[in-house]
Structure 1
């Protein structure tokens, strides 16, 4: 009976371990990075934040919470992004149904809830430098 309890406990322990996928081979080291986004002085919830690398191939992204905060990820579910220089884009939009037309073929359009310029990393004017070490917080205050 003791052998059964030990084996069962061991199986539960092994089975309850995280199912986190390992980082891909050759992945660069990740640095914890958080972005805080406000629009017109208020936290911007449910916005997509993308850090596009100026050099290299791996950036990071995430969606802001109710407080306008996002933990950036290059390889979800792992938190963090590679160190380096980034151009930043932030978007928030919603799809709305276009009235009229064929009810079997509904049409939608996208309403942008913040200025579209922030959704283009080369035109947003937003940049970030992620250092090799330490938790970093980047604040982006968006305006019209």
Structure 2
């Protein structure tokens, strides 16, 4: 194998080791158990909706999942891509977080939309400033400490 082919193969292997997952026969990307925590000024945030959007081509498109989770009373979450708490594919993500208000008691009109208690500061992954890297095999993400 000549030097240029060897270099190309090494670069491809390196790129694939950072989130290049092949879909399974059913079209799903492999996912790994992934958890994390959301805090605000150091205190746990309960009820926050965490959504990860693929930042690379491999994690975008119709077969790529959009991992999501809702934080518990301790601010902890476990991501879901296809099935409850199954995790997320390995790779780099942009993150959006919202904190919906609790709906009022009683019948709600069809057009009711819960307000985001974070006032939209983190609802757009392109401007939230939040990122996550899910390692091959999954694990715990660094805490998202909202200001």
> Which residue, out of 65, 72, 90, partners 2:72?
65
SS of the residue corresponding to residue 111 of structure 1 reads coil
> Residue 31 and residue 96 in structure 1: after superposition, are their counterparts in 2 closer, same or farther (change >3 A)?
closer
Return the offset for 1:29: 1.3
> Normalising by structure 1, what TM-score?
0.69
Pair 112,75 (structure 1): closer, same or farther in 2 beyond 3 Å: same
Q: Note the aligned Cα RMSD (angstroms).
A: 2.6
Which ranges of structure 2 fall in alignment gaps of 5 or more residues? 1-23
* Equivalent pairs, count: 116
Q: 2:131 maps to what in 1?
A: 127
Partner in structure 1 of residue 6 of structure 2: none
Bigger Rg over Cα: 1
Aligned counterpart, 2:17: none
**Which has the larger share of strand?**
1
| Residue in structure 2 matched with residue 13 of structure 1 by the alignment | none
CA 133–94 in structure 1, closer or farther in 2 if over 3 Å, else same: same
Normalised by the size of structure 2, how large is the TM-score?
A: 0.68
Consecutive unaligned residues in structure 1, runs of 5 or more: 1-22, 98-104
1:54 Cα deviation after fit: 1.1
Deviations 1:26-49 (A, max 9, x none): 211111111200012210001100
